[in-house]
Chains A and B, each alone.
Chain A
Amino acid sequence: MITSIKQALTTRDIRRKLEWMVVIIFITRAISMIPVPGVDASVFKQWITANSNDVLNLFSTFTGGSFEHFSMFALGITPFITAQIIIQLMTGVITPLSKLQKKGEHGLKIIKLITNICAIVLAVIQSCCMAIGFSKSGLIASNGILGILLVTVFMTAGTGIMMWFAHILNKKSIGNGVSILLMTNIISRLPGELAMLFKELASGEKALQSSISVIVAVVILAIMLIVIIYMIEGYHPLHVQYSQKMSQSGENAETGQIPIKVGIAGVMPVIFASSLMAIPQMVATITGKGYGSGFSKVFLNMMSQKNWFNGENQIYSLGLLIYLGLIVFFAFFYLPMTFNAAEISDHIRKSGGFIPGVRAGEETEFYITKISRRLTSIGVVMLICVTVIPMAICGAFGITTTINGTSLIIVIGVVTETIQQIQLEMAGRNYCGLLCK
């Protein structure tokens, strides 16, 4: 591995791409620390600490503390990700969009433009709502329309700059720009969160008990890492035989593999489920009415993750069942959007291939769908293990931490993808084919 790193750093093109990545991460972080004019970051931080809930924690994780500092990057790259998801979902429903997708490069360019516009519109709406809400709470110094306008413009411009950075990373660096920016935001909070977690565990009265707690936490984190790596790297090799293409000897038909990943839906089911469950809390926080009393209090407490493992009010654990149900639902709901069995079946047919023992056309499509559904079932179980079990352990022992499986899946996924791309680039450079023979 060290040789690979050395080789990557000594190759001029790869080094230049990595330099771009370093520069953009550096600029993003520096700007993240500077608050929007008219906002006192320390007052805002105090408000966040006092009103901490699932939705604010999730948002803070994805914006890497920019939200806590109320910088111009407070919205982060999240409006663009939301826009991408909306357009992806719409493509399956709205015919003109699906037609555009099939039009090739030109169609994809138009879809990209629509996504960008959608992201900016979302950023304007989100920042305007935030500015109005925070202005009413007295968190923004100037309460007038001008203050709201200033905050909206700065935050929307911040999202625009983030989108531009993602574009530069896509063009001039290695890996997916949006994923890298999201990963950077998540990693920015990891060292602090890890330090806090271990400090909390080590603060026990007995030294032995504290040491055991720390060791157990390290083991759990290691197990989480291993399960996520298995989930990301595990795949079903779909064997395809090509009748048209002949091998070099010209005797046998060529065989190939199409890998279908175990974690096809990735981390999206968890994000969808968490976001949906956070909506009632978000409304309660923004309207400033709190949890109220009676049914609304029980319902809102049920929606809050920190109450699910509360032994005193077991009724709140029902929220966990709703959460698990939503994860499973979204995993299968999102599957056809990310994995199009009909398209793969069509692609196999067009390239003159077939799956041995399976008829071309509808039977192949069903065969692939069946495999993808089975893989999703396994992936969902792994996803639940990674997200819910650590949550249960923390809840049972009263540990407060925002380190969760969702963040780790994103970080591991992006780091492994980037490393694989570096290796691919290097392999491409080292390959000399027949000339070296």
Chain B
Amino acid sequence: MKETVKEYDIDKMPMTDEMKYIKWPKAGKVATEMISVILGSAVIAMLIAAGDEIGIALLHILFA
């Protein structure tokens, strides 16, 4: 028996509702993520500031 090979065209493929579905995060999760990002960034910014200060102090010691 001969096997029929079907050729597909991506543009002709219908867009079904199933394909359109997107799962968005819930408001609670967005709020938690926002707080996490703000807190995380603040902690890292403080760490960076401390590192920068040490660097400037080193610079003064090395090139004084």
Residues of A within 8 A of B29 (CB): 233
Interface assignment of A419: CB less than 8 Å from any CB of chain B: yes
Main secondary structure of the interface of A (DSSP, over half): helix
In the bound assembly, the distance between CA atoms of A371 and B13 in angstroms comes to 11
Residues of A within 8 A of B8 (CB): 362-363, 366
B49-64, CB < 8 A from A: 49-52, 54-56, 58-59, 62
Q: Are A184 and B21 in contact (CB under 8 A)?
A: no
Supposing A183-B44, A233-B29, A236-B23 touch, asked if A415 and B51 sit within 8 A by C-beta, the answer is no
Q: Are A32 and B10 in contact (CB under 8 A)?
A: no
Which of A21-29, A90-98, A135-143 is found at the contact surface with chain B? A21-29
Residues of B within 8 A of A235 (CB): 22-23
In the bound assembly, the distance between CA atoms of A372 and B40 in angstroms comes to 31
| Contact mask for chain A residues 403-437; partner B; CB cutoff 8 A; 1 contact, 0 none | 00000000110011011000000000000000000
Interface assignment of B1: CB less than 8 Å from any CB of chain A: no
Residues of A within 8 A of B54 (CB): 26, 29-30
Size of A's binding interface in residues, CB under 8 A:
49
User: Number of residue pairs across A and B with beta carbons under 8 Å?
Assistant: 122
Q: Are A34 and B47 in contact (CB under 8 A)?
A: no
Interface assignment of A230: CB less than 8 Å from any CB of chain B: yes
Q: Are A34 and B58 in contact (CB under 8 A)?
A: yes
Q: Are A22 and B47 in contact (CB under 8 A)?
A: yes
Pick the contact of A233: B24, B48, B52 (CB < 8 A).
Answer: B24
State the Cβ distance, A61 to closest chain B Cβ, in Å: 14
In the bound assembly, the distance between CA atoms of A237 and B32 in angstroms comes to 22
Q: Are A370 and B51 in contact (CB under 8 A)?
A: no
Q: Are B55 and A31 in contact (CB under 8 A)?
A: yes
Q: Are B36 and A1 in contact (CB under 8 A)?
A: yes
State the Cβ distance, B41 to closest chain A Cβ, in Å: 6
State the Cβ distance, B24 to closest chain A Cβ, in Å: 5
Give B50's nearest chain A residue, CB to CB.
A26
Residues of B within 8 A of A187 (CB): 41, 44-45, 48
State the Cβ distance, A406 to closest chain B Cβ, in Å: 15
State the Cβ distance, A415 to closest chain B Cβ, in Å: 4
Give B30's nearest chain A residue, CB to CB.
A229
Interface assignment of A226: CB less than 8 Å from any CB of chain B: yes
Q: Are B13 and A416 in contact (CB under 8 A)?
A: no
Supposing A230-B30, A366-B8, A378-B22 touch, asked if A411 and B41 sit within 8 A by C-beta, the answer is yes
Q: Are B37 and A375 in contact (CB under 8 A)?
A: no
B residues at A contact (CB < 8 Å): 6-8, 10, 13, 15, 18-25, 29-30, 32-37, 40-41, 44-45, 47-52, 54-56, 58-59, 62
